[in-house]
Amino acid sequence: MNSFEIAAFGATPALVQRPAPQPAPSEVRVRIAACGLNFADLLMIEGKYQERPPLPVTLGMELAGTVEAVGRDANPALLGRRVAVYAGSGGLAEAGCFPAARCVPLPEGMPFTDAAAFQVAYGTSHVALDHKARLQPGETLLVLGAAGGVGLTAVEIGKRMGARVIACARGPQRLAIAEQAGADHLIDSTTDDLRDQVKALGGADVVYDPVGGDLSTQAMRACNPDARLLVIGFASGEVPQIKANHLLVKNLTVMGLYWGGYLAFRPEVLTDSLSRLFQWYAEGHLRPHVSHTLPLSRAAEGLDLLRQRKATGKVVITMDGAATA
């Protein structure tokens, strides 16, 4: 089978051939149909991600496909099921073995490309806004990076939860995509003063921040008293330094979220969240935005789209050679 992997952290990923793996007792083997790319894949390549699996590493954190073999202790009913898997790694290959407990059956009619784009982005935003920030109907949610992989889902879920959503993104094209996802107000991060614009709209009660850097500082200054700031990531490359006295004076709460980290100590937070999200999808309330679909042979190109910030929503790699942009 073909596998897109790195031999060392910092090395250039390459497409190599490997024998098809055999599942361990508690695992299943999935014939992978599609894999969603994430900014964290870039960090994994550089060795800067919070997890460093043994080398060589097959890249790709989330995938969708069909279970084609089960280990002796795995549920045999999974055989032949269409599933999504958050694996952490291993998704950019034609097949892979993963813990059976991580397999989430797909709603009927859900395409593999949607499923591969779903778990990390929607899961991150839902756990952040619901489990962590306790976003309430009528509150104002400010989303930074609002046209990106996770930011766009935060706009969509925030509206679903009854919030007034302010979307901040770069340029009119990205803002238009955020508006289609349900944003009530739009702020261009390249031309507008974020703090003044948000304050003019009444301030923010919750800030969803996958960007970091100067925008994070401006967003904090635009917060209402008792606001919650969600630290999701640092796509800008700059980790903001938060002054504790500002938190004290305005009664602000800063919350970090590493979505995948819940697997180690409270996996039910993720499984309960995904169950609700897949239900919302089946009811027609959520629709993943996939800007590019590329074959496995062009996985490096897909990662470059993330690196150069040329994608909106998600980039998905398929194993059947399909490509759209």
> Could you report the average pLDDT of every consecutive run of 10 residues in the chain (325 residues)?
96 96 97 96 92 93 97 96 94 96 91 95 97 98 95 97 97 95 96 92 98 95 97 91 93 95 90 91 93 96 94 93 60
Both structure tokens of 291: 């800007």
pTM for the whole thing?
Answer: 0.88
**Model pLDDT, residue 16:** 96
> Which of 151, 190, 147, 184 minimizes the C-alpha distance to 166?
184
Asked if 31 and 2 touch (Cβ cutoff 8 Å), the reply is: no
Give me the pLDDT at residue 21, please: 94
Q: For residues 20 and 87, what is the distance between their CA atoms, to the nearest angstrom?
A: 17
**pLDDT of 7:** 96
Contacts of 125 (CB under 8 A, 6+ apart): 150, 153, 154, 156, 157, 158, 208
Q: What is the pLDDT of residue 275?
A: 87
Domains 2-118+288-318 and 121-260 share a fold: no
The pLDDT value recorded for residue 323 is 59
CATH topology of domain 2-118+288-318: Quinone Oxidoreductase; Chain A, domain 1 (3.90.180)
pLDDT of residue 307: 93
> What are the residue ranges spanned by the domains of the chain?
2-118+288-318, 121-260
- What is the per-residue pLDDT for 199? 97
Q: What is the CATH number of domain 121-260?
A: 3.40.50.720
